[in-house]
Structure 1
């Protein structure tokens, strides 16, 4: 079984995913807008260039997304966070700093009882992130 987060943006999916590709060092393997597809007939004219489906491959995992037309959405990123755990403190701090540009910091990057570094933010695209450095194996609880 594979579980992949699917993010719903309010029109800025293309910019968000190209930014995430740079920050995380992944590779966009799909970025499809509505234009030229059967879905084009079902969205407003100003929405045809918005993203219908995108996939960002990150170390063998997928982060997927699309732009949700306002009439078919209750708003982007409602009550969901993407949790990213990396082995090294320096990498956690780098990711947090890169995502922090224009973000709302909900919890600054700091040492916690469950991780040597952990922080939470809502980035400028509306995505909620939980970034952490992994706890040593003898103290880990959820991986």
Structure 2
């Protein structure tokens, strides 16, 4: 049996559902597959995500609202890399992902591609966007 490797986002600010919905709306061929929620006796607010599974452009992801607040959070050292098909897709994704987030490398030619950008979205998740 082939092992399934899935990216898992742990949200400490109880905004997993907002992030998941934002990503599913942003990327083509995406959908929410399954959502398990915390009940009234759970360690976080009732209805928050215990575990959710979703696809972004056909790739499997998972997320949760973390009951404990950890000493760690997302880091740009681990990011999702997107090879864009054209410049308009690159610009659209860059603008939407960087809105209320942080631009770490503005769209430009850095010598290793025709156009590249690196952003941290409003949820703290990092994205590298590339156009060859």
- What interval of TM-score do these two structures reach, taking the shorter chain for normalisation? 0.7 to 0.9
RMSD: 2.0
State the match for 1:139 in structure 2.
Answer: none
Cα distance in 1 between the residues matched to 2:68 and 2:16: 14
State the match for 2:36 in structure 1.
Answer: 32
Residues 1:15 and 2:18 are matched in the alignment? yes
State the match for 2:63 in structure 1.
Answer: 65
CA 1:49 to 1:74, structure 2 compared with 1: closer, same or farther past 3 Å? Answer: farther
State TM-score, norm by structure 2: 0.82
Residues 1:128 and 2:126 are matched in the alignment? yes
Aligned residues: 127
State the match for 1:77 in structure 2.
Answer: 74
1:71-100 Cα offsets, whole Å, 9 max, x none, are: 4x3333134212222222221111111111
**Is 1:47–1:69's contact at 8 Å kept on the other side of the alignment?**
no
Q: Secondary structure at the match of 1:30?
A: strand
Structure 1 residue 120, shift from structure 2 partner: 1.0
State the match for 1:89 in structure 2.
Answer: 87
Cα distance in 2 between the residues matched to 1:4 and 1:110: 30
> Where do 5+ consecutive residues of structure 1 fail to align?
136-143
**Is 2:107–2:117's contact at 8 Å kept on the other side of the alignment?**
yes
Structure 1 residue 19, shift from structure 2 partner: 0.8
Higher helix content, 1 or 2: 1
> Where do 5+ consecutive residues of structure 2 fail to align?
none
State the match for 1:141 in structure 2.
Answer: none
CA 1:121 to 1:59, structure 2 compared with 1: closer, same or farther past 3 Å? Answer: closer
Structure 1 residue 31, shift from structure 2 partner: 2.2
